[in-house]
Amino acid sequence: MTEKIVLAFSGGLDTSYCVLDLVQKGFEVHTAFIDSGGVDAAGKAYISKRAASLGAAQHHEIDAAREMWDEFVVPLVWSHARMLGEYPLLCSDRYLIVKRCLELCDTLGTRHFAHGCTGMGNDQLRFDQTVRSLGDYEIHAPIRDLQSRVRAVRDYELKVMAEAGIEVAASASRYSINENLLGVTISGSEIDRFQPPSDDAWTMTASRADWPQGSLEVRIGFEQGVARSLDGQSLPGPDILKSLNERLGPWGVGRHVYTGDVTIGLKGRIAFECPGIDALLMAHQALEDAVNTRFQNQFRQQISNRWAELVYTGFFYEPHKQDLEAYLRSSQQVVTGEVVLYTEGGVVTAVAVDTPWRLHNPEAVYAQSADWTPEEAVGFIKLLGQSTTLAGKVRGRRQ
């Protein structure tokens, strides 16, 4: 009996080639598009039609936008994690893609799972390690295997597709594009060559010449660190993020270019767009800075760096990550209130915070008034700096 295999399928060049390859090898290919919130109805219809045209036995469309919000966006916002302080880990839909594909494997009664990762980037770690963390399955990676036989892999894929009579969009021949609830990542072509991205590379954010006139304000409400409302209207998390992307993208908010260290030793460069994530991170930090203690806010950076490292390098289901999130959850107990964000284009700024939990002493306002005496201030400074003062005296005498 023909072996079934589940292929994580996006409809792009690499996964399209994978269908042809796996069919040729004799598998009954089940393509699975895991909808993590970045593709509209027309896009999903195209992906389904594409799978059928390539010879897939059955195409499966699985909604994972809510899981993407709960399992990734919420702790991302809690931690304020950005890899190297820049990249907010838009790649993390890979983990839920694998999880849901393996669930489909179980439903179909197969241990064969396939993905379209190359042997050069971080995605292969994310896919393979997630498979190994979640169960015992056989991993198939046709593009990675192809690299052992062909030097110009992308050109070879385009040739095979042309010979099969399968059209490839012009953008797909130039760029590798990934869309999800968080935004869009773009790589390839001039981006790989460390040149400025072309205007047509951007899909979600407007260029400066196209920004609207005037300004825009949005108000985000949080309950214990989780965004619950937008401009006073309660909404599910994924809808808040989609709305922020749609409203802030035309103002050019969320456009970035990032160079990172690929785990296997290369430099990787991508362009990415994430207006909604930029807004959520900005608003949450403004609120958290106002309600949490100095030590909590200082320690957040250490948690952020480790959480980003684990998620970026493939360890989404590492127990240590769960430990970090237990702390983050505890730190959100009073992160409740509303934040007003403002933009005139390009960047977004938190301009107002309204919360009953603000650490505020009405008798002491920074640079205005205090409920301690000048003598107490002088004594505090003397004691706080005593070690440094002594070091200056002792070392000064010995030099």
Residue carrying structure tokens 């915070």? 353
For the full predicted model, state whether its pTM sits above 0.75.
yes
If we measure between CA atoms, which residue out of 101, 89, 88, 87 comes closest to residue 130? 101
Do 99 and 195 belong to one domain?
no
Range of the structural domain that residue 102 is part of: 4-65+90-172
Do 56 and 12 belong to one domain?
yes
| pLDDT at 257 (0 to 100) | 96
Q: 373 φ, ψ to 5°?
A: -90, 160
Q: What is the CATH number of the domain that holds 152?
A: 3.40.50.620
Task: Confirm if 292 and 335 have CB atoms less than 8 A apart.
Answer: yes
Count the domains in the chain: 3
Do 144 and 201 belong to one domain?
no
Q: What is the CATH number of the domain that holds 191?
A: 3.90.1260.10
Tokens of 110: 């197969």
| pLDDT at 152 (0 to 100) | 87
Instruction: Find the length of the chain.
Output: 399
By CB neighbour count within 10 A (0-12 exposed, 13-18 middle, 19+ buried), where does 368 fall?
Answer: exposed
Do 267 and 131 belong to one domain?
no
Close Cβ partners of 220 (under 8 Å, ≥ 6 residues apart): 227, 229, 230, 240, 244, 279, 280, 283, 338, 339, 341
Residue 188 lies in a domain: yes
Do 144 and 282 belong to one domain?
no
Do 110 and 160 belong to one domain?
yes
Sequence-ordered alpha helix ranges (H) in the chain: 13-24, 41-54, 65-68, 74-79, 93-108, 123-134, 142-146, 153-163, 170-174, 189-192, 237-248, 275-291, 294-313, 319-330, 374-384, 386-398
State how beta strands 183-187 and 267-273 pair. antiparallel
Cα dihedral 270, 271, 274, 279 sign:
positive
Do 345 and 388 belong to one domain?
no
Do 20 and 103 belong to one domain?
yes
Tokens of 134: 């979640």
Do 136 and 268 belong to one domain?
no
Residue 309 lies in a domain: no
State how beta strands 216-223 and 183-187 pair. unpaired
Residue 132 lies in a domain: yes
Residue 322 lies in a domain: no
First vs last C-alpha separation in the chain: 85
Assign 116 to helix, strand or coil: coil
Residue 318 lies in a domain: no
Residue 266 lies in a domain: yes
d(CA 202, CA 186): 8
Do 120 and 235 belong to one domain?
no
Residue 70 lies in a domain: no
State how beta strands 226-230 and 233-234 pair. antiparallel
Do 346 and 374 belong to one domain?
no
Do 147 and 193 belong to one domain?
no
Question: What's 255-268 look like in SS3?
Answer: EEEEEEECCCCCEE
| pLDDT at 1 (0 to 100) | 64
Task: Confirm if 96 and 67 have CB atoms less than 8 A apart.
Answer: yes
Element (H, E) at 59: strand 58-63
Last residue of a domain, one of 108, 139, 172: 172
d(CA 357, CA 224): 11
Residue 314 lies in a domain: no
pLDDT per position in the chain (399 positions), as tens?
A: 689 999 999 998 899 999 999 999 999 999 999 999 888 899 999 999 999 999 999 999 999 999 999 999 999 999 999 999 999 999 999 999 999 999 999 999 999 999 999 888 889 999 999 999 999 999 999 999 999 898 888 889 989 999 988 888 766 667 888 889 999 999 988 999 999 999 999 999 999 999 999 999 999 999 999 999 999 999 999 999 999 999 999 999 999 999 988 877 788 899 999 999 999 999 999 999 999 999 999 999 999 999 999 999 999 999 999 999 999 999 999 999 999 999 999 999 999 999 999 998 777 666 677 777 888 889 999 999 999 999 998 888 766
